[in-house]
Structure 1
Amino acid sequence: MGKRDDAIRAKTPILASVTIPDRDEAPMVYGDQPVRKQWAESVLYAQGVPINPHLPMIESEAQITLRTPREIADRLRAVSIIAARGSGLPLADARRFIDERGIDPHLTPAERAFLDTPEPTMRDQIQFSWRHEAAWVLLWALRHVEGQLGAPRETCDVDAMTDIIINVPDLGRDGVRSANDILNEADLVYRYHWAIRQAGIDGQAPPADLDPGVVLERHYALNWLIGYGGNADWDDVTTDT
């Protein structure tokens, strides 16, 4: 699943799937992978979130190249203004901010299509307004949010994020968090997402008060940050479980 739809808004997760390597494959395992998986499962256990011990390990630090501070900062500005438009920001104000900050070259085809629609559907507005949660992850990756992201139970502080984006000229000035920090969150949200989807399969509410929309957007942004799916462009990121 690569895009939020009304089912996500209604907190009805989509069917989960697990990809098992062929028997004759022998994927290389790096030392940080089992340690990270064990850590993530311990966090879930402490929070009362169901665990699937058969979920594979995610990528190692040795297998990824993080997006650069400049890439992340450009993506953050684009995502945040499109999310603001989805939340009701007048089109004229959105365009003015895009022009003033030089954001236009960094918009994706999907974002540009949304922006070019004077009266978007409610579905599209909801879909893009949720991108605030993805933007929060990018803000965190650029060290503007302290600590870990925390359990995905509540939506982010949009006002605080907007204040930083507007008033900090160089959003990438402090660089990017370590690959270990970002992979830890990516592994954790991967397992949160499985738990939510499995609950949906079982006809149950999301466990431990997890918010499916927050989980989805965090997973989306973190997968983009680590280049999941062959360094997929933003519009093409997937959130497999």
Structure 2
Amino acid sequence: MMKRLFSALLALILPVQAAVSQPVDEAGARKGRSIAQLQSEGVPTIDHLPTVEPESESTRRNTKAVVQRTIALAIVAVKGETGDHAMGQALIRQFDAASFFTPKEQAFMDDPNPSDQDRANFAWRYEGVHVMLWAIGISPQLERPDHICDVPFIAKTLRELGTDGLMRRAKLRPQKELLDAADLIYRYDWAAVNARLKGEEPPGGLDKGVVYEWHYALNWLIGYMDQDWDDISTDT
């Protein structure tokens, strides 16, 4: 009798212990939420696209690095848009940003006559600024990547806050939010690239340039493959 009671109790206890010790599939759940959102928007998905790494395996950027990246991206974007070398140098002094640039950015800022292609490429970095301002809590949300960002808002925000003010205001969002955004943009980018390969327009009204820039910035924010900014890959 006692043996049967012990066996029954053991049968009740073991499943509970197994459930407690079973790790939550954080990355899989994140992937599922992203797919559900894209499907609700009519954006194609594929189930075998991998997950973004879980929080425990991702890199947490420090707030200072994100603020400096924000300012560097804004300055190279202004020079890319305007082609004004003197203005670019003035902005570096204004924001005390001489040490904020990557090697490729520094080469662009040092060049008084960059090519039209370089200017166009760097002008797109406004989108990276938009992502960074969201990441440090200045912008409330990312919305959908179906239109270019609000450049006047970026200019006004940075002009009013400056480097020190931005540093004081900055509060890096929880890693979970950054990973959620990175997983979602990863799948948006797959859909945009897939459409391009098929000779079609991006689905769901997506702007492929915006999608790419957000993917690039978010991969840096989560430390994807431990790559430096100049070497970020946007695999799909």
What is the TM-score of this pair, normalised by structure 1? 0.84
2:127 is equivalent to residue 133 of structure 1? yes
2:4 aligns with none
> How many residues end up aligned between the 2 structures?
211
1:160 aligns with 153
State the one-letter code of the partner of 2:233.
Answer: T
State the one-letter code of the partner of 1:240.
Answer: D
Alignment equivalent of 2:195, drawn from 172, 196, 199? 199
Residue aligned with 2:199, SS: coil
2:91 is equivalent to residue 97 of structure 1? yes
Following the alignment from structure 2 to structure 1, what is the Cα–Cα distance between the partners of residues 41 and 211? 15
State the one-letter code of the partner of 2:220.
Answer: W
Following the alignment from structure 2 to structure 1, what is the Cα–Cα distance between the partners of residues 95 and 203? 41
1:240 aligns with 235
State the one-letter code of the partner of 1:138.
Answer: M
Contact 1:83 1:129 (8 Å CA) reproduced: yes
Contact 1:82 1:111 (8 Å CA) reproduced: yes
CA RMSD in angstroms comes to 1.2
State the one-letter code of the partner of 2:46.
Answer: N
> 1:115: Cα distance to partner?
1.2
> 1:89: Cα distance to partner?
5.2
Q: Which has the higher contact order (CA 8 A, sep 6+)?
A: 1
Following the alignment from structure 1 to structure 2, what is the Cα–Cα distance between the partners of residues 141 and 89? 28
2:181 is equivalent to residue 188 of structure 1? no
> Unpaired runs of 5+ in structure 2?
1-22
2:173 is equivalent to residue 177 of structure 1? yes
2:205 is equivalent to residue 212 of structure 1? no
Contact 2:66 2:136 (8 Å CA) reproduced: yes
Residue aligned with 1:144, SS: coil
- Highest Rg: 1 or 2? 2
State the one-letter code of the partner of 1:155.
Answer: I
Following the alignment from structure 1 to structure 2, what is the Cα–Cα distance between the partners of residues 219 and 133? 10
2:25 aligns with 31
> Unpaired runs of 5+ in structure 1?
1-28
Contact 2:83 2:119 (8 Å CA) reproduced: no
How has the CA–CA distance of structure 1 residues 108 and 99 changed in structure 2, closer, same or farther, with 3 Å as cutoff? same
State the one-letter code of the partner of 2:150.
Answer: D
Alignment equivalent of 1:57, drawn from 48, 51, 54? 51
1:106 aligns with 100
Following the alignment from structure 1 to structure 2, what is the Cα–Cα distance between the partners of residues 174 and 71? 11
Residue aligned with 1:240, SS: coil
1:6-21, aligned counterparts within 5 Å?
none
How has the CA–CA distance of structure 1 residues 117 and 198 changed in structure 2, closer, same or farther, with 3 Å as cutoff? same
Percent identical residues:
38
Q: Which has the higher helix share?
A: 2
Following the alignment from structure 1 to structure 2, what is the Cα–Cα distance between the partners of residues 120 and 174? 32
2:9 aligns with none
Deviations 1:96-150 (A, max 9, x none): 1101221111111111111121111111111000010011000100101113x11
182-191 vs 101-110, which deviates more?
101-110
Alignment equivalent of 2:64, drawn from 48, 70, 74? 70
Alignment equivalent of 1:221, drawn from 185, 208, 217? 217
Residue aligned with 1:87, SS: helix
Deviations 1:42-92 (A, max 9, x none): 110111100111101111111112211100000110110100100005211
